[in-house]
Amino acid sequence: MCETTHLTTFGGNWVVAPNKLDWNFIFSNADFLKNPTLYVTEILVLILYVTAMVWARRKDKQDLEKVSDALSITTYVLLDTFC
């Protein structure tokens, strides 16, 4: 653990300016035939994302069924014990 009591400005004056975007160049070269790798990658990432969300939702539903089954069994056993 650092137990210093001074406040340093280490790297505080070193600011890197962001790169300027040339939107004219970007939109003029946004054709699918000029750069198909970019579009194929984006489509694949979107497909993988949607597939993962569908899989996760199904697993969530299975977990809810397990919890509701466990709660109903527990409730039945508890009610049977005390009645």
Q: Any idea how long the chain is?
A: 83
> pLDDT (tens digit, 9 = 90+) per residue, 2-31?
666 666 666 556 777 889 999 998 888 888
Under a CB-based contact definition with an 8 Å cutoff, are residues 32 and 39 in contact?
yes
What pLDDT is attached to residue 66?
80
Q: Does the predicted model carry a pTM greater than 0.75?
A: no
The mean per-residue pLDDT over the stretch 53-82 comes to 77
Q: Is 82 helix (H, G, I), strand (E, B) or coil?
A: helix
DSSP 21-81: P-HHHHHHT--TTT-HHHHHHHHHHHHHHHHHHHHHHHHHHHHHHHHHHHHHHHHHHHHHH
